[in-house]
């Protein structure tokens, strides 16, 4: 029963890690940049939800109607004012730019909220459901459902809309996409905006399940990068599968053996997978070589 | 005409002379003023040249919360000590550099303090992790490192002679609780989980060894990496044992998350003690909810209402500088404050700023008084005179409950915690 509980928790927690990683992987797929600021942006999203929760007394999930648009606009602004003007050596320079954005966000949050830990509250956060001997923490269930819904929406946007076609074309071959009239700048801006908008959702979930401060981003970024690398850069489905796989492996090893070996086991599996498939589980080999 | 000319010439001469006199006077006055000023400054500087102390603090990164409290503790000490004449009658000037919780940066910071800033003394950073490399650098340059927040056994097992911890070292922090368990409870299974931190884990391990030696068995023993952010599998494992006693080696975020996971798993141990987290005052209450705090315990080295040396003055100064109440003061504050107190007492006794003399004196068996209680260093630099307390949340208040035979008055311990969500008066 303990192992079944670990699998359940791995799936539930893996769901919202997948959501946080989806933005990262999409941005890389379209723009060829690793958004090193994703951890800081998630923590910013958590602080925004916390502020709305404390000052407007809104439910954390309702707070997303305020925080997500703010973060989406911020994402678009980051692209328009910081990424787009970079004309040479864009991959490296944008990496440094996003690192600077992360440092700036952390500094501003530290000054604004000081370094004490805070957590987002709602009356139901400590509630859980007991079904078939398994314990379903309500906040994890709600977060998983929201993540699944948003990932499904993202999938629909990517594969069933005109913008999605432009997005996929930009991922596959940005030069050819420009040649057939796709405004890749606009696609990139919207993609970064979506990615950072999703960080608002990830931040709210992170903030309800963890006490956090401005420095909490460091643990997040390493985990999310690992998820994206295993899933394959640019693959939303890969992010979902690898996030759930990572959390289930860690949780099961933690209960059966030791939490210290939980992450070690996962990294061993990651190395083996990358030896066999360097592009990750769902990444496309050499797609950028064109 | 001549007269006129002569008159004009005389007038010109007179005017020229007047200007010359004026310039000479002004120049003399300026020279006199500058000379006097320089002399005055020199004299003044000779009498008020501050005693400089370099301290690396973690204002960002993993330890940023505690790092800020550490900095506050040192600043409060400097303020209090300066109001009492500073050190050797000279004001104290603290120099801070942030190390971003990095063992590499902390080394750079102390090297800069010692070789570039040429500070008179250094005081310790936050955590065992940072104190280890910092004390090694200080030792290389023959500087003493007095500290209050880096008491993991690995700090004292390297044979360094320059590092001194004014607080209760990690090994003994949970022993007060373990001794009380042995004295009052029948042997039974205990669930342990601890972060693999060089300060936290020895706390739990030493208590576990003590309890094992007295018939208490392990219901579970789990060590988790410091970067863990999902605690549900650990909490589920503990919950599955249904142990009545849980001893957790936590830092604040994991301590909060673990309680949240226990509530969700409907696991309600009769006795729950966390290494750190419940000592964070209102932050802890907000994180776990006011109705869930009842009976949770935590070891601590300081009592806010204690009559220990300068404790009341420290609390008053802290509130004046940073606001809040005595109960909201982080334990890091008195720990840093006490390190400064011992430095001031030792240097004032020696009447010398020599670090080698200071080191010899601290090793001499001399006794000191601090806001946390008495300090007397044993051979490896640990404080042999420290008294670890145990605090417990009772009816929304954070009260000392152990040791029963200590110098300070304690409240009766609540042995059986009530159900989650039922803190009386919350």
Q: Is A205 on the interface with B (CB under 8 A)?
A: no
pLDDT band for B47, please (50, 70, 90 cuts): low
Terminal Cα distance for chain A, rounded: 50
| Alpha carbon of A258: minimum distance to chain B alpha carbons (Å) | 6
pLDDT for position B132: 94
> What is the SS3 assignment for chain B?
CHHHHHHHHHHHHHHHHHHHHHHHHHHHHHHHHHHHHHHHHHHHHHHHCCEEEEEEECCCCCCHHHHHHHHHHHHHHHHHHHHCCCECCECEEEEEEECCCCHHHHHHHHHHHHHHCCCCEEECCCCHHHHHHHHHHHHHCCCCEEECCCCCHHHHCCCCCCEEECCCCHHHCCHHHHHHHHHHCCCCCEEEEEECCCCHHHHHHHHHHHHHHCCCCEEEEEEECCCCCCCHHHHHHHHHHCCCEEEEECCHHHHHHHHHHHHHCCCCCCEEEECCCHHHCHHHHHHHCHHHCCCEEEEECCCCCCCCCCHHHHHHHHHHHHCCCHHHCCCHHHHHHHHHHHHHHHHHHHCCCCHHHHHHHHCCCCEEEECCEEEEECCCCCECCCCCEEEEEECCEEEEEECCCCCCCCCCCCCCCCCCCCCCCC
Q: With beta carbons less than 8 A apart as the criterion, state whether A188 and A202 touch.
A: no
The residue among B378 and B425 whose pLDDT is bigger is B378
Give the C-alpha separation, B57 to B122, whole Å: 12
A-interface mutation test, from B233, B239, B255, B278, most A Cβ less than 10 A away: B233
Both tokens assigned to B276: 């750190």
pLDDT band for A91, please (50, 70, 90 cuts): confident
Nearest-Cα residue of chain A relative to residue B59: A115
Question: Dihedral angle at the C-alpha atoms of A129, A135, A139, A145, nearest 10 degrees?
Answer: -90
pLDDT band for B89, please (50, 70, 90 cuts): very high
Both tokens assigned to A202: 């990830």
Contact between chains at A259 and B228 (C-beta distance less than 8 A)? yes
Q: Is A220 on the interface with B (CB under 8 A)?
A: yes
Nearest-Cα residue of chain B relative to residue A133: B265
Q: Is B253 on the interface with A (CB under 8 A)?
A: yes
Both tokens assigned to B109: 């910071």
B194 vs A contacts (CB less than 8 Å): none
Q: Would you say residue B252 has pLDDT above 60? A: yes
Within 8 A by CB and 6+ apart from B376, the residues are: B365, B366, B367, B368, B383, B384, B385
Using CB atoms, which residue from A13, A118, A211 is nearest to B230? A13
Both tokens assigned to A121: 């509250």
Under DSSP, the state recorded for A5 is: H
Using CB atoms, which residue from B101, B257, B292 is nearest to A210? B257
Give the C-alpha separation, B165 to B112, whole Å: 23
Q: Which of residues 127-166 of A touch B (CB under 8 A)?
A: 127-128, 130, 135, 137-140
ipTM exceeding the 0.90 mark: no
Give the C-alpha separation, A270 to B116, whole Å: 45
Within 8 A by CB and 6+ apart from A93, the residues are: A86
Range ranked top by mean pLDDT from A69-78, A208-217, B23-32: A69-78
Contact between chains at A220 and B229 (C-beta distance less than 8 A)? yes
Q: Is B264 on the interface with A (CB under 8 A)?
A: yes
The DSSP bridge partners found for residue B26 are: none
Residue range B314-365, pLDDT digits in tens = 999 999 999 988 877 888 999 999 999 999 999 999 999 999 999 999 999 9
Helices (H), chain A: 2-31, 38-55, 60-78, 90-113, 138-160, 162-172, 174-179, 184-209, 217-231, 236-256, 259-276
Q: Is A265 on the interface with B (CB under 8 A)?
A: no
Q: What's the whole-number average pLDDT of chain A?
A: 88
Q: Which of A57-66, B56-65, B95-104 has the lowest mean pLDDT?
A: B56-65
A105 vs B contacts (CB less than 8 Å): none
pLDDT band for B185, please (50, 70, 90 cuts): very high
Q: Is B286 on the interface with A (CB under 8 A)?
A: yes
Q: What's the whole-number average pLDDT of chain B?
A: 87
Q: With beta carbons less than 8 A apart as the criterion, state whether B128 and B198 touch.
A: yes
Contact between chains at B233 and A214 (C-beta distance less than 8 A)? no
Contact between chains at A223 and B237 (C-beta distance less than 8 A)? no
Range ranked top by mean pLDDT from B43-52, B280-289, B295-304: B295-304
Residue range A240-251, pLDDT digits in tens = 999 999 999 999
The DSSP bridge partners found for residue A130 are: A135
pLDDT band for A207, please (50, 70, 90 cuts): very high
CB atoms within 10 A of CB A274: 14
Give the C-alpha separation, A17 to A13, whole Å: 6
pLDDT for position B333: 94
Give the C-alpha separation, B166 to B357, whole Å: 18
pLDDT for position B337: 97
Residue range B332-342, pLDDT digits in tens = 999 999 999 99
Both tokens assigned to B149: 């927040």
pLDDT for position B220: 96
Terminal Cα distance for chain B, rounded: 108
Size of interface A-B (CB pairs under 8 A): 126
Contact between chains at B287 and A255 (C-beta distance less than 8 A)? no
Region B268-285: mean pLDDT is 90
CB atoms within 10 A of CB A268: 12
If we measure between CA atoms, which residue out of A76, A26, A69 comes closest to residue A238?
A26
Residue range A143-200, pLDDT digits in tens = 999 999 998 998 888 888 888 888 888 877 888 888 888 888 888 889 889 989 999 9
Q: What is the pTM of this model?
A: 0.77
If we measure between CA atoms, which residue out of B283, B251, B223 comes closest to residue B129?
B251
Contact between chains at A214 and B62 (C-beta distance less than 8 A)? no
pLDDT for position B384: 85
């Amino acid at each position: 029963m303990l192992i079944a509980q670990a699998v359940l928790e791995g799936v539930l927690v893996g769901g919202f890690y997948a959501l946080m990683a989806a933005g990262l992987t999409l941005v890389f797929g379209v723009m060829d940049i690793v958004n090193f600021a994703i951890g800081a942006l998630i923590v910013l999203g958590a602080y925004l939800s916390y502020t709305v929760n404390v000052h407007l007394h809104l439910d954390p999930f309702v707070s997303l109607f305020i925080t997500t648009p703010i973060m989406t606009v911020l994402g678009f602004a980051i692209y328009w004012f910081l990424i787009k003007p970079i004309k040479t050596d864009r991959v490296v320079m944008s990496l440094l730019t996003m690192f600077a954005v992360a440092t700036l966000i952390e500094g501003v949050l530290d000054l604004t909220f000081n370094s004490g830990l805070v957590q987002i509250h709602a009356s139901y956060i400590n509630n859980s459901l007991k079904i078939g001997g398994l314990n379903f923490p309500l906040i994890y269930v709600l977060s998983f459902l929201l993540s699944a819904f948003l990932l499904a929406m993202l999938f629909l946007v990517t594969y069933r809309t005109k913008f999605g076609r432009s997005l996929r074309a930009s991922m596959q071959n940005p030069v050819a996409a420009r040649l057939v009239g796709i405004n890749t700048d606009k696609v990139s801006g919207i993609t970064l905006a979506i990615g950072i908008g999703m960080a608002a959702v990830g931040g709210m979930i992170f903030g309800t399940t963890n006490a956090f401060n401005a420095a909490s981003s460091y643990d997040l970024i390493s985990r999310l990068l690992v998820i994206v690398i295993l899933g394959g850069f640019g693959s939303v489905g890969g992010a979902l599968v690898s996030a759930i796989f990572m959390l289930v492996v860690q949780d099961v090893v933690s209960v059966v053996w030791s939490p210290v070996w939980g992450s070690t086991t996962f990294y061993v599996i990651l190395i083996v997978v990358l030896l066999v498939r360097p592009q990750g589980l769902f990444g496309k080999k050499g797609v950028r070589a064109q | 005409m001549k007269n006129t000319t002569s008159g004009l010439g005389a007038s010109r001469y007179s005017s020229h002379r007047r200007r010359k006199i004026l310039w000479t006077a002004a120049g003399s006055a300026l020279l006199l003023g500058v000379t006097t000023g320089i002399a005055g400054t020199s004299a003044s500087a000779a009498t008020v040249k501050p005693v400089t102390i370099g301290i690396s603090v973690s204002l960002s990164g993993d330890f940023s919360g505690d790092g800020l409290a550490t900095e506050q503790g040192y600043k409060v000490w400097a303020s209090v000590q300066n109001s009492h004449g500073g050190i050797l009658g000279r004001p104290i000037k603290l120099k801070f550099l942030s190390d971003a919780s990095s063992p590499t940066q902390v080394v750079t910071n102390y090297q800069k303090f010692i070789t570039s800033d040429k500070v008179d003394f250094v005081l310790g950073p936050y955590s065992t992790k940072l104190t280890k490399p910092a004390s090694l650098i200080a030792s290389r340059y023959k500087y003493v490192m007095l500290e209050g927040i880096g008491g993991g056994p690995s700090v004292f097992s390297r044979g360094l002679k320059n590092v001194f911890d004014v607080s209760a070292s990690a090994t003994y922090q949970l022993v007060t609780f373990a001794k009380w368990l042995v004295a009052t409870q029948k042997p039974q299974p205990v669930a342990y989980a601890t972060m693999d931190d060089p300060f936290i884990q020895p706390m739990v391990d030493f208590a576990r060894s003590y309890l094992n030696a007295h018939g208490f068995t392990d219901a579970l023993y789990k060590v988790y990496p410091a970067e863990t952010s999902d605690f549900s599998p650990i909490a589920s494992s503990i919950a599955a044992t249904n142990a009545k006693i849980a001893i957790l080696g936590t830092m604040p975020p994991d301590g909060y998350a673990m309680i949240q996971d226990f509530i969700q798993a409907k696991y309600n141990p009769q006795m729950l003690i966390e290494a750190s987290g419940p000592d964070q005052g209102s932050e802890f209450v907000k994180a776990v909810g006011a109705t869930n705090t009842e009976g949770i315990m935590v070891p601590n080295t300081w009592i806010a209402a204690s009559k220990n040396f300068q404790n009341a003055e420290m609390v008053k100064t802290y509130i004046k500088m940073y606001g809040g109440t005595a109960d909201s003061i982080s334990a890091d504050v008195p720990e840093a404050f006490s390190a400064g107190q011992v430095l001031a007492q030792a240097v004032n006794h020696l009447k010398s700023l020599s670090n080698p003399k200071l080191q010899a004196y601290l090793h001499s068996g001399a006794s000191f008084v601090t806001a946390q209680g008495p300090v007397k260093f044993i051979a490896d630099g640990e404080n042999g005179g420290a008294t670890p307390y145990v605090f417990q949340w009772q009816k929304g208040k954070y009260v000392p409950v152990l040791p029963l035979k200590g110098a300070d008055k304690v409240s009766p311990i609540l042995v059986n915690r009530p159900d989650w969500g039922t803190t009386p008066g919350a």
